[in-house]
Amino acid sequence: MDHDEAGAAGAGRRIEAWWLGRTGYRDAWDLQHRLVAARADGLIGDQLILLEHEPVLTLGRHSDPSHVLASPEELAARHIELIRIERGGEVTYHGPGQLTAYPIIRLADRALYIRSFVRALEAAMTETCAVFGVEAGPKEGFPGCWCGQGTRKIGAVGVRVERGVTYHGIALNVAVRLSDFDLIDACGMPGLESTSIDRERGEAREPATEAVGAAAAEFARGFARALGAPLGGDLPPDADPLRSRQNLESLLAAGSGSRRAEGGSAS
């Protein structure tokens, strides 16, 4: 099933998007776990978390740590943590100026297979790049989003599915400091050239949350279109990250409260 067919199957099921701004990696990781559990239990609907991280390196569950080129001493000096997580894929850098998106989607409700889900993520990254005048697209056999006929990588994909619900997701380089990718063999591919929307446009801005927010809004719209889903929530530039986080926590608390109430009435 391609993402057009999947979109038809999932039409009408709203996706709520949340812009959280600059967020620590472990905080966002914990939030994902709580959202996945609530979604799998049917306590909340599908969600899309949009943010940028402080500098961090993440290793997929089976990734080779030799692709981390920086020494532990260098990482410590730069206050960059190395974390092994449960997604697929190899080592990835996250940091300021990069959009990270975490879709919490119950695949069966949208008649989605993992391949069509990944294609929807790639399509949304491609569309986001196009909005900013950058030609990019998927590369056969290599998940993500690529420029220069597949010679420069601008976006990475790494997902995990538990109890039928997706988490982790994508990283799209907007105005990221590309020299930080020298710390790793990006995606486990020695010599891989990383690029960004700014670089492809011939710009050289310092990493800025505002630039990431603009890309986040376009990605959310593109992802919803790829799935044929209505999009809810507050997007940049109007979204307030603090208020969005408070509302998201309230949503989780309400779901937990309803589960406890059901358990009490059944006892």
78 pLDDT more than 50: yes
Task: Write out the residue range of the structural domain in which residue 128 sits.
Answer: 3-251
Residue 23 lies in a domain: yes
What residues are annotated to the active site?
187
Higher-confidence residue of 8 and 60: namely 60
Residue 267 lies in a domain: no
Which of 11-15, 66-70, 252-256 tops mean pLDDT? 66-70
2 pLDDT more than 50: no
Residue 265 lies in a domain: no
Coil, helix or strand at residue 126: helix
Q: What is the pLDDT of residue 260?
A: 65
- pLDDT bracket for residue 8 (50, 70, 90): very low
Mean pLDDT, rounded, of the chain: 92
- pLDDT bracket for residue 263 (50, 70, 90): low
Residue 264 lies in a domain: no
Overall number of domains in the chain: 1
Contacts of 230 (CB under 8 A, 6+ apart): 12, 13, 14, 15, 224
Helices then strands, counting H and E runs in the chain, come out as 7, 12
- pLDDT bracket for residue 187 (50, 70, 90): confident
Contacts of 22 (CB under 8 A, 6+ apart): 51, 52, 53, 54, 96, 209, 241
Residue 257 lies in a domain: no
CA dist., res. 89 & res. 130, Å (int): 25
- The enclosing domain of 71 has a CATH number of 3.30.930.10
Residue 63 lies in a domain: yes
pTM summary value = 0.92
**pLDDT tens, position by position, 15-53:** 999 999 999 999 999 999 999 999 999 999 999 999 999
Mean pLDDT, range 220-228, rounded to an integer: 98
Q: What is the pLDDT of residue 84?
A: 96
**pLDDT tens, position by position, 124-137:** 999 999 999 999 99
Per-residue b or e along 119-152, where b marks 16 or more CB atoms closer than 10 Å to that residue's CB: bbbbbbbbbbbeebebebbbbeeebbbbbeeeeb
Residue 2 CB neighbours (<10 A): 11
Per the CB < 8 A criterion, the answer to whether 165 and 102 are in contact is: no
Residue 152 lies in a domain: yes
Q: Which amino acid is at 4?
A: D
Residue 259 lies in a domain: no
